[in-house]
Amino acid sequence: MKKLIALLLMISVTTFAQENPVVGVKSVGIGSHVGFGNIRGFVASGEANYGQFIARNLLLGISVDYQYDNYKYFETLTNQNGEPDGLIIKAFRPAIIGKYYFLESRIRPLLYAEVGLERRVTNSPLFGEKSLVGFSEHFALGGGVSVFLNDKRTFAFEALYTINNAKSYKADTERNYYGSVTPMSGNIKLGLNYFLASKRK
């Protein structure tokens, strides 16, 4: 009985894949993201991702994200020595990603999910010459839109808004403190994806 069920499942999956030419299509992408906060500074980020459609409209893949933050606080915020303070943060995030696309048009809304790990290195005059190194879990949920840029639908521009558990920093002028950590933050992710058609005939 178990062998029969397994055989039926295998036939069903094979038939589904054959009837859905999208299954097996691969995606390679690059992008960047912008966070929100009320602290002045310079933020640079880059992301590379790779995925494959495992069902119609459903893509699973992996991504690697690197982020560099150089925060400069408002002039009213100083450290214990009465000098302007700041933070330099370097974060590395490998993750598993999932995307579910809607519609079959050139403009396709989508849902997005991400789960992985984060390695964060933080430097500040407050810490002296030492660096704070930490590891934590990372997740993000959101949605957006994908717009195909050519008739063959191999290139697409993608814009996403996500809520994640990455640390963000908010100025605290009342306590004249160098910053407070916000557990949840929002990001706008922008990127380009290239879709490689499956070689299956």
Residue 101 sits in a domain whose CATH number is 2.40.160.20
Phi, psi of 177 (to 5 degrees): -95, 155
Integer angstrom CA distances of residue 63 from 60, 114, 141: 10, 9, 14
In angstroms, rounded to a whole number, what is the distance separating the alpha carbons of residues 51 and 38?
35
Q: Count of domains in the chain?
A: 1
Measured CA angle at 168 (ends 143, 94), to 5 deg: 60
DSSP H or E segment with residue 24 = none
- Examine residue 170 and state whether it is found in any structural domain, yes or no: yes
- Examine residue 126 and state whether it is found in any structural domain, yes or no: yes
Containing domain of residue 69, as a range?
A: 2-196
In angstroms, rounded to a whole number, what is the distance separating the alpha carbons of residues 27 and 154?
9
- Examine residue 10 and state whether it is found in any structural domain, yes or no: yes
95 Cβ partners below 8 Å, 6+ apart? 62, 63, 64, 65, 114, 115, 116, 117, 138
- Examine residue 201 and state whether it is found in any structural domain, yes or no: no
pLDDT tens digits, the chain, 201 residues: what are they? 544 444 434 434 343 333 444 788 999 999 987 765 555 566 778 999 999 999 989 999 999 999 887 776 544 444 555 555 667 888 899 999 999 999 888 999 999 999 999 888 877 665 556 677 788 888 899 999 999 999 888 999 999 999 887 665 555 545 444 454 555 577 889 999 999 876 544
- Examine residue 14 and state whether it is found in any structural domain, yes or no: yes
Q: Which amino acid type is present at position 200? A: R
